[in-house]
Every structure is written in C-alpha cells, then in structure tokens.
Amino acid sequence: MAYEPVLLRHVGHPEVRTVAGYRERGGYRGLEQALTMEPDEVIEAVKDSGLRGRGGAGFPAGLKWSFIPKETDQPKYLVCNADESEPGTYKDRILMEEDPQQLIEGCAICCYAVSANTCYIYIRGEYVEQAEILEEAIRDAYQAGVLGDSVMGKGFKLDMYVHRGAGAYICGEETGMLESLEGKRGQPRIKPPFPAVVGAFGCPTVINNVETLCNVPHILERGADWFKQIGTDERNTGPKLYCVSGHVERPGTYEYPIGATLNQIIEGCGGMWRGRQLKAFIPGGASAPMLPAEFADTPLDFDNLAKAGSMLGSAAVVVMDDQTDLVRSVYRLAKFFNHESCGQCTPCREGTNWAELVLKKIVAGNGKPGDDELILRICRNMGGTTLCPLADAAVGPLRSLVQNFPDEVRAWLDSDGALTPARQYFSEGVTV
C-alpha cells in the first residue's frame, strides 16, 4: 500500500524534539493557523474533519470539544491521556519519543479552541524515558515562546505539565485518571456529570488521547477536506497507527489510512512468522473480542469492526498463528483484568476473579462440560453493569473465545477429565 506517513513522518529525526528542529521540518504551522482563527472556527474545523478519538471509544473529537461551556468563570483544562496501559498497545509511546513537539502543538491548539489555560499530560508511570523527553520538550517550548504567558506572541496564556501515574490500568479510564490527577485513589466516577462540565478539580475539562491530539495540527494546516480524503468513509477518516504484535515477522507500530485490512498490515510486517497460517487476531487491544482468520479482509476501522463483532479500540493488533492455544492466551488476559480491576464495582471485582479461576482450572486439566456456559454466564453478569468499561473490556476476550472458537474450548473439556497430549503440554507448571 503506497502511503506517505503523517503522524510518523519525523521518526528517525531526533532534531524535531526541539522547537527549532520541529519548525525546520514544517512544525507549528497548524498552531499558527489556529491562532489566526476564532476558537469556535477551530472546533468546527476539527468537527468537519471527522476526527474520532484514537484512545478506544472513537467519539468525535470536535464534538467533545464543543461540550465545554463557553459562559463560565471557572478555569478550563485539557488532560492528555498518555496512560497507555492496554496490553499490546505502544503507539503513543513512539509519538512521545520521536515527535514530542507534535503532541505539544496538538495540545496547544485544543487548549486555544476551548479556552483552556492549563494542560496536563497524564503519562503512564512506566514511561520514564518518554516523560523525560516530554518534560525537556516542554521546557524548550517555553523558552521558544510556544508556551507561557503569550503563545507565539498572540496573547493566549498556556501552561503545560507532565503528570506521572503509578502504573494502574484503571487510570486510563478518563474519570479514574482525573481522580489520580487530583491526588486521590484512581477509581472511576459516576457519570453524569461528565468531565466536560465537572472534570479536573471540579472544572470543565477536555480529555483526549495522545494520537488524537497529534492529528489536530495536520487538520489545521492542511484542512478538513484533506483529512477526510484519507480513510474508509466519512465516519472513518484520517491516518491511523496500528501496533502489531504476535506472530508476524516484524512487529512494531505502523501507520496506514484508517481502514487498512489485517492482510494488508501483515504484508507490511513481512508476513506471518515462519510462514505459518493465521488462526485468530485481536484487532484493538486486549479488551477487543478476538476474530477468526476469515475476517482478515475486514477494514480495521470503527464501524466495520463493530459489524464484525469486535472493535478498533486502541488498534493494538495481536496476530495469532495456527499453533496458538487460544484458551491459554485468554487465561493470561483474564489474569491481567483481574489484577487491574480497582474493585469498586462488585460485578467487576467478583467477575474478573471468577473468570480467572475458571480458566485456570481449565488449563490445569480440570475443566468439565458446562464450563463454557459458565464463562458466558459470568460475561452476562459483568457486561454493562459497572461504572467504567473495565468489566466490558474483560468480557471481550472471554465471550469471543467461547462464541468464535467453541471447538478450541471443548477440546479442553473432555467428559472424563483425561488430558489430551496438547492439554498435557499446556498444563505443565499450572496448578490450582
């Protein structure tokens, strides 16, 4: 697929970490253009582009900005979600490492559009190097007059801070993130009220993902029409980063127009590992339902994946070959979600624990007929019953395992409890 990178165009050019180097390669033209416009015009441009949030939910970014109240004496905030904790996801990491000024520019445009004078970049605690790169880039932006009391001499005041999390997956949820930012335990809030009205420190707040904000400068510089020409249709527009891991020859972060198919992405990664056959894939991070190989030509965008029974999510594509044991793979995901549940909601606290225990029993060779239905019953009790989407995220791989790969599950559930050779191999070292 012939495609000229947009978001990753500066990878391999460390000079762009500075304002001077970034400007030499065309940076900050989007912010310069935004500052010549009225804030509402900037919001309309982002709306018209069709940009949808790249953090998982796919909510239209410009529409989210428009929810910020205009007539209020309260301060307004932008919180950039850089708490990239979804297993298999590392797209924001490369953006912060290789092109931090691009993120700063996107944040500045958003703040101008919603009249926010303070921006917090909430970054995953394990991203130590990336946080240091961002902090250095922000210092340089202050010195260059991009941030501070008068952004680019236009009279707009903007302060920006990097806030480091402590490594909790739940803080990737926007209200859990706000609680953590305020110095509290990272647990989700009841909604409504929504962050656009009552967000950080009780004030109106926009929360956007790193990749979302990195798209914004290009929309302002090149126009909404240019952005809409990239992608599948008017509801799925712009460039997209796909984190590809698993059984491919060259795992990594790849940029395509949103809506590239798995087969196209695998080809760009050098093909399947050791020439093996595709069995299944997760299209959008650990929380996205697994799909069988027959969906490999489905466009990986928000709407087509929803029709296929999965979701784009964080676009962390995990490729699994024909030698992968899917039951054991989902067991590992169940362990993750059980560990990361904050425990606030009973269905999630108890359901993630039960899911791990049932799958642990199965992979230890102690499964029995009916355990597949038990897994589905756990899913029904968890789905749509909690304050945040973590329970639904945990349900995704569980339900898709039983529904899309029933033969895989039944192979572990012999009525006499005897271990098949494959089950004997995968149960080694597993105890209940």
**pLDDT value at position 167?**
86
Residue 228 reports pLDDT greater than 60: yes
**pLDDT value at position 424?**
54
What tens digit of pLDDT does each residue of 79-98 get? 999 999 999 999 999 999 99
Closest CA to 100 of 129, 60, 64, 58: 129
What tens digit of pLDDT does each residue of 140-194 get? 999 999 999 999 999 999 999 999 999 899 999 999 999 999 999 999 999 999 9
Rounded-to-integer distance, Cα 152 and Cα 292, Å:
51
What tens digit of pLDDT does each residue of 31-90 get? 999 999 999 999 999 999 999 999 888 899 999 999 999 989 999 999 999 999 999 999
**CATH 3.30.1360.120 is right for the domain spanning 236-321:** no
**pLDDT value at position 1?**
55
Domain map (residue ranges) of the chain: 14-229, 236-321, 326-426
Residue 417 reports pLDDT greater than 50: no
Rounded-to-integer distance, Cα 206 and Cα 196, Å:
6
What superfamily does domain 14-229 belong to in CATH?
Answer: NADH-ubiquinone oxidoreductase 51kDa subunit (3.40.50.11540)
Which residues have C-beta within 8 Å of that of residue 10, sequence separation ≥ 6? 16, 22, 25, 98, 99, 102
Pairing relationship of beta strands 231-233 and 205-209 according to DSSP bridges: unpaired
Q: Which amino acid is at 309?
A: G
Query: What average pLDDT is seen over the chain?
Result: 93
Q: How confident is the model at residue 3 (pLDDT cuts 50, 70, 90)?
A: confident
**pLDDT value at position 280?**
97
**CATH 3.40.50.460 is right for the domain spanning 326-426:** no
- In the numeric block, which tokens belong to residue 302? 């928000």
What tens digit of pLDDT does each residue of 350-404 get? 999 999 999 999 999 899 899 999 999 999 999 999 999 999 999 999 999 999 9
